[in-house]
Structure 1
């Protein structure tokens, strides 16, 4: 009777995982896998924490003139958003200037973006470089330049509503052009060619194909221009004259009083912005679902 011996079991190489043991990741591997997500969360918390503080302090009933320390919960600031007539007037002035600057800069910037993307001309590269100057130049330099080289030539008492508006249009124009250009650069040109192959006129192609595709970029550019205009202080301070916008009112009120109504208006701006973004996302998803 012949006895056979089984071959020896293959030895597990050093460093290989044993299938009989549970796999355990080292702490360094876990940190490397979650480091980017952790940094992203920290950055978002850092950016949104001031907005949360402003919203929380808008429900405060301050003891004195400055809404810096929490005292007790109150809705008095929300019931009367305008602490003084000057605050309401400055807020209305900022919104009015912002709307005009947004409409003009969005219209001009959209046409410039189409010209830069769709057409080739000699000064195209130079204009493309000049568009970034208002974005790169400090606002102090831009405000002082506009005041010294343009507005003072009209007259020393000419600074006011329209000088602020023109300065904001010049300032917001570059941001609109860059935003719309990025949307146009990512658009598929074959869609317009398909519409032309189906005997659509240039106007029909623009209204039914091009404009709906570029509309999200135009809307984003308009929101950015409005936010930049309403929020601007430095350029406005050089071109305002005797006018006082809402950022200028806040700067002046910080030195003598800081009512909770300022936090209320800031919270309302934040809520309106988030509502517009959420509405655009809902409409975009609904449009994609219909397709």
Structure 2
């Protein structure tokens, strides 16, 4: 019998530590009892009851809307910042600009949220906007926070690109904006997708920033769950969390499936090109002989 090594034991222990609570959460979402600590048999009534819980479902829809807008705006701003940091190497204040871009990564969210709150209050006093804090202020706060992550991911990809392709396109007469959209963007598309998914997840999960910059009628899902958990875990929360886990797992599976198909197509195309090259070399040798 093959003995388990220390690395395998630690691997399985780590996986159990991460995923076992999620499995327990999904199981208890089918608990028929209203008390979380008491098992009352299998039931799906909490999933059905979500349709009548307008407050919780409104928070879910609100969080998804903010996360979608945040992902789009963070990718745009983060990509522009990454392009400036990697392609414009010499300009005054470059070090300061790089520090400002990456500052949200190391700054505590409490400080960031308090700073944004004071900013919005001052803007409301000076310009009359925002009249009240809500979805727009949460979106701005999340975009400020997530753009730093996108900038780091995209800049690492831009540094690995071969600039000779872009230079060749510009030598052939292509304008810089056309080179960027037709050559650079397709080559950094995986990093853009990764930044968008990261921003979506961070926005959907954020509690601290949203607590500072939210207002009446703009409660997000983390805020709703946090306020409800303080009074005790409700079965509806387990059901919502299980549905989110299902959606994330399904999206992850689709990303893996399409990436595998793309990799297989790339390998087939590479093998076909190698076969054609070998066939041509063989035919040339035969002709010479």
TM-score by length of 2: 0.79
Tell me the distance in 1 between the aligned counterparts of 2:12 and 2:161: 32
Counterparts in 2 of 1:158 and 1:85: CA distance versus 1, 3 Å: same
Does structure 1 residue 183 correspond to structure 2 residue 157? Answer: yes
Tell me the distance in 2 between the aligned counterparts of 1:267 and 1:180: 32
Query: Does the aligned pair in 2 maintain the 1:157–1:241 contact within 8 Å?
Result: no
- Per the alignment, residue 115 of structure 1 pairs with 84
- Per the alignment, residue 241 of structure 2 pairs with 266
For residues 18-57 of structure 1, the aligned pairs below 5 Å read: 34-57=5-28
Tell me the distance in 2 between the aligned counterparts of 1:195 and 1:290: 26
Counterparts in 2 of 1:279 and 1:187: CA distance versus 1, 3 Å: farther
Worse-superposed segment, 91-100 or 125-134: 125-134
TM-score by length of 1: 0.78
Alpha-carbon offset, residue 215 of structure 1 = 1.0
- Per the alignment, residue 174 of structure 2 pairs with 201
1:258 counterpart SS class: coil
Runs (5+) with no aligned partner, structure 1: 1-29
Query: Does the aligned pair in 2 maintain the 1:151–1:163 contact within 8 Å?
Result: no
Alpha-carbon offset, residue 194 of structure 1 = 5.9
- Per the alignment, residue 17 of structure 1 pairs with none
- Per the alignment, residue 95 of structure 1 pairs with 64
For residues 221-236 of structure 1, the aligned pairs below 5 Å read: 221-236=195-210
- Per the alignment, residue 16 of structure 1 pairs with none
Query: Does the aligned pair in 1 maintain the 2:33–2:40 contact within 8 Å?
Result: yes
More helix by share: 2
Q: Which has the larger radius of gyration?
A: 1
Counterparts in 2 of 1:256 and 1:43: CA distance versus 1, 3 Å: same
Tell me the distance in 2 between the aligned counterparts of 1:125 and 1:36: 42
**RMSD of Structure 2 on Structure 1 (CA):** 2.6
Counterparts in 2 of 1:249 and 1:83: CA distance versus 1, 3 Å: farther
- Per the alignment, residue 218 of structure 1 pairs with 192
Tell me the distance in 2 between the aligned counterparts of 1:131 and 1:47: 31
